[in-house]
Copies of this chain bind each other. A is one copy, B any other.
Amino acid sequence: MPGLIVMKFGGTSVADAERIKRAAGRIVEKREAGHQVVAVLSARGKTTDELITMAEEVSAAPDPREMDMLLSTGERISCALCAMAINDLGHRAISLTGSQAGIVTDESHTKALILDVRAERIRGALEEDNIVLVAGFQGVSRDARNVTTLGRGGSDTSAVAVAAALGAEVCEIYTDVAGVYSADPRIVPNARKLETVSFEEMLEMAASGAGVLQLRSVEYARNHGVRIHCRSSFSEEPGTVVLAEGETMEQPLITAVTHSDREARVTLTGVPDAPGAAARIFGALAQANVNVDMIVQNEPASGGGQAEISFTVPREDLRVARAALEPLVGEAFAELSSYEEMGKVSIVGAGMRSHPGVAAKVFSVLAREGVNIDMISTSPIKISCVIDRDRVEQAVRALHSAFELSGEDTILVEDTFRASPTS
């Protein structure tokens, strides 16, 4: 018997009446195939941005609790409209707010964490033969008093959390791209759609700029064993399945090249070379909810017990980061400078574990292209380089080509070394 499926539709998939009806049609197809269906919806197209603009028009620093009250309306609108469209197709549908769906979070407004999904009401509605639509991106605080939101892209996490709570067969994430690619097809036209990718690779890819899935949702899925299928809401083709590592068939050396062109670098000079200075700096940033990516610390040759710390943050967090560090000038560091025009290019692949030659090949490819590497960070399955923003596309193309990611064949470790004279 077909099982329970969670389907998640992103903002572009519910952007207008036509698309909402199309999503309703996809949902009904699954129901008619015998599945029980829960669909998690994002706000329509630009709705969230419009609501944020409204807030900025009335207040310089909108209150976070009120921001959540405001932003949570977008997904409710999508769900109510989609429920109407499904009812029109002759099926019963009911829309639930995050609160009604039992998505319980902590109290950190605008960046709440899901603590629990109390899915009794969803289950009850499914048993009464309803298709259930759940407003993504939102929940209710523990004491059931306040609406919370999960932060940008939180609808993916809502969907995975609901899938986990219900023990769904699969969590299908519908977007306007057909799956996960070996690189952004807008930059690399012959990029390859990946049939499968491991959680670990997907985590690294989400963290390093691949916009298909939100990082938190992948973590949640890995921790709760939820199978994710990323696919297009505009075609019937299968997309990319995210699996536990043991389940994947092939283990290519490199899976994909990802990139971001929205990085900013902050440099702090005159940091006392004493315990506690770095802790105060990064403590203040954490307090302000700034995601710090790479960190480099140098002790200048001139010495004097003064160090220099550089780190990168998403460009949109730069203003908040500067504000958070302002009070520490003259204490934890002497001077702050920042540069907004940074980007990042990364290669990700479960097969590169314990193969340091890959890093060498990355550096030689970028050197050949004349791309200067500003900062480097590595993990067992990822190498990231911070570079100038206007060199990002060139770097992505060069790496994708050097690692032959468009082909059908996977590159063996030996090939890599042969192709890499500096290793």
Identity of the chain B residue whose Cβ is nearest the Cβ of A19 in the assembled complex: B58
- Decide yes or no whether A63 CB sits under 8 A from chain B: yes
Q: Which residues on the B side are within 8 Å of A21 (C-beta)?
A: 58
Q: Are B95 and A81 in contact (CB under 8 A)?
A: no
Q: Which residues on the B side are within 8 Å of A85 (C-beta)?
A: 58-59
Q: Are B17 and A54 in contact (CB under 8 A)?
A: yes
Contact of A145 with B100 at beta-carbon distance under 8 Å, contacts A58-B17, A66-B87 already known: yes
Q: Are B81 and A58 in contact (CB under 8 A)?
A: yes
Find the residue from A21, A24, A81, A100 having the highest chain B CB count within 10 A: A81
Contact of A61 among B60, B72, B73, B88 (CB under 8 A): B88
- Decide yes or no whether A84 CB sits under 8 A from chain B: yes
Q: Are A66 and B88 in contact (CB under 8 A)?
A: no
- Decide yes or no whether A361 CB sits under 8 A from chain B: no
Find the residue from A24, A121, A147 having the highest chain B CB count within 10 A: A147
Q: Which residues on the B side are within 8 Å of A328 (C-beta)?
A: none
Q: Are A77 and B66 in contact (CB under 8 A)?
A: no
Whole-angstrom CA separation of A80 from B61 in the bound complex: 13
CB distance from A54 to the nearest CB of B (A): 6
Identity of the chain B residue whose Cβ is nearest the Cβ of A53 in the assembled complex: B17
Q: Which residues on the B side are within 8 Å of A134 (C-beta)?
A: none
Q: Are B58 and A88 in contact (CB under 8 A)?
A: yes
Q: Are A80 and B69 in contact (CB under 8 A)?
A: yes
- Decide yes or no whether A4 CB sits under 8 A from chain B: no
Whole-angstrom CA separation of A57 from B84 in the bound complex: 10
Find the residue from A57, A59, A85, A100 having the highest chain B CB count within 10 A: A59
Q: Which residues on the B side are within 8 Å of A54 (C-beta)?
A: 17, 77, 81
State which residues 32-84 of A face B: CB under 8 Å: 51, 54-55, 57-63, 65-67, 69-70, 72-73, 76-77, 79-84
CB distance from A89 to the nearest CB of B (A): 10
Identity of the chain B residue whose Cβ is nearest the Cβ of A88 in the assembled complex: B59
Q: Which residues on the B side are within 8 Å of A81 (C-beta)?
A: 54-55, 58-59, 66, 70
Q: Which residues on the B side are within 8 Å of A57 (C-beta)?
A: 16-17
Q: Are B70 and A76 in contact (CB under 8 A)?
A: yes
CB distance from A90 to the nearest CB of B (A): 12
Q: Which residues on the B side are within 8 Å of A65 (C-beta)?
A: 94
- Decide yes or no whether A20 CB sits under 8 A from chain B: yes
CB distance from A60 to the nearest CB of B (A): 6
Q: Are A70 and B63 in contact (CB under 8 A)?
A: no
Q: Are A69 and B95 in contact (CB under 8 A)?
A: yes
Whole-angstrom CA separation of A16 from B87 in the bound complex: 34
Q: Are A63 and B84 in contact (CB under 8 A)?
A: yes
Q: Which residues on the B side are within 8 Å of A97 (C-beta)?
A: 69, 147
Whole-angstrom CA separation of A99 from B93 in the bound complex: 22
Q: Are B60 and A88 in contact (CB under 8 A)?
A: yes
Identity of the chain B residue whose Cβ is nearest the Cβ of A69 in the assembled complex: B80
Contact of A83 among B16, B63, B80, B94 (CB under 8 A): B63
Contact of A77 with B87 at beta-carbon distance under 8 Å, contacts A54-B17, A65-B94 already known: no
State which residues 167-198 of A face B: CB under 8 Å: none
Q: Which residues on the B side are within 8 Å of A93 (C-beta)?
A: 63, 66
Whole-angstrom CA separation of A126 from B58 in the bound complex: 23
CB distance from A390 to the nearest CB of B (A): 36
What are 14 A-B contacts with C-beta separation under 8 Å? A20-B58, A51-B77, A54-B77, A58-B81, A58-B82, A59-B88, A63-B83, A63-B87, A65-B94, A66-B87, A69-B80, A69-B95, A73-B77, A121-B145
Interface of A with B (CB < 8 Å)?
Answer: 16-17, 20-21, 24, 51, 54-55, 57-63, 65-67, 69-70, 72-73, 76-77, 79-85, 87-88, 93-95, 97, 100, 121, 145, 147
The 7 closest A-B pairs by CB, nearest first: A17-B57, A70-B80, A73-B73, A59-B84, A69-B80, A66-B80, A58-B85
